[in-house]
A and B are shown apart, each in its own frame.
Chain A
């Protein structure tokens, strides 16, 4: 097997995910799902549960497969190809990994089986208004009361928030950070759902005097911060793989269009100016694929050391690349790629989401630069 590539089993997982998505989330089907509640296909979601991919990132001792990196990447590439709408990234990867990393044995047993079964949708509420991509809670505060806490604050651009059953809310208490699990139906929680540019659902959440029992705190302090950073990295790695899948599909469509569209009596793909631009996309895709694979391995191996560096390296690169890729692919098509009827324009929009979700280029460049520098003759991954 070559270095940094999928194994035989991982390929099989990828192929079966592709078949699942082709039969439940074809481009035509997904356009229907997109416009009716809940904004994705319940049938497709049930199939994902059925074939077991919802268990991939969770530890084996609570029913998971124990592979948040490469196996999740294999699935996410397919999700990216299909621009699937199901909340796999939000509920399983981001929400699920936060709980998997932060919760105690009791909570793990209580929640993880429900997440794997697809009935519990936890959405990780990372961002707050006016704090851009900051991962630490700033304005969301937990005030101690006799028994438990009271939560106040606001979160924004919560992926999967429009259809979540629960929110994972990092909040500031007097001298610590709490990671709270709040059912979406709790009194005082106001959810305003909307669609992102990649057609995935998201929400703003307003928390007004939300009562919290002690058992709703998943963890606190360093452990809470670690859980969020971990889930963020797992999510970043997954999103990078998703972008690779989206680029791969968009390049296929672009290539086929260049080959079939005729102007001036010839296929436009015979113009060298366009051939070279298409090849630029190929060159870009291969860089993204490499960094995505590296990030996925860094996540799988679970060592915090280079994990964050590799995930941020991949996302810094892909954040920029995804957007430029979309722009160039549209340009190569001409007018057709500006229409909503064309699959390629949905892929281009998804790439825009992938560019800005979970940190943009600037954010990840800075995050990468804060990690320990390369020392001596070490390779990046040592």
Chain B
């Protein structure tokens, strides 16, 4: 079986890309846009990606065809810097109650250190 991607559901987190051994899945981050590409010729059908996808965007399918999708990257809501997270990942994080305001790692650290300094760890 091969993976088939529901790019509407996909949040562009690249967990699947990171786990893909043969290089069938790849990504680039360029000018604030992430592009994820599936190249079936390199897929060995182990479906490791399917098990990892946090949103269930990958389904097994007997046939596979190449596909790709693009995702705008999110900016820190404090300093405005472009981050390594997609806008869809940020929305997903907010829906799951992980955070209300999306901060880049640097701003998160400074803000939490400030809170600890004020006695609010």
**Same complex origin of A and B:** no
A interface list, Cβ under 8 A from B: none
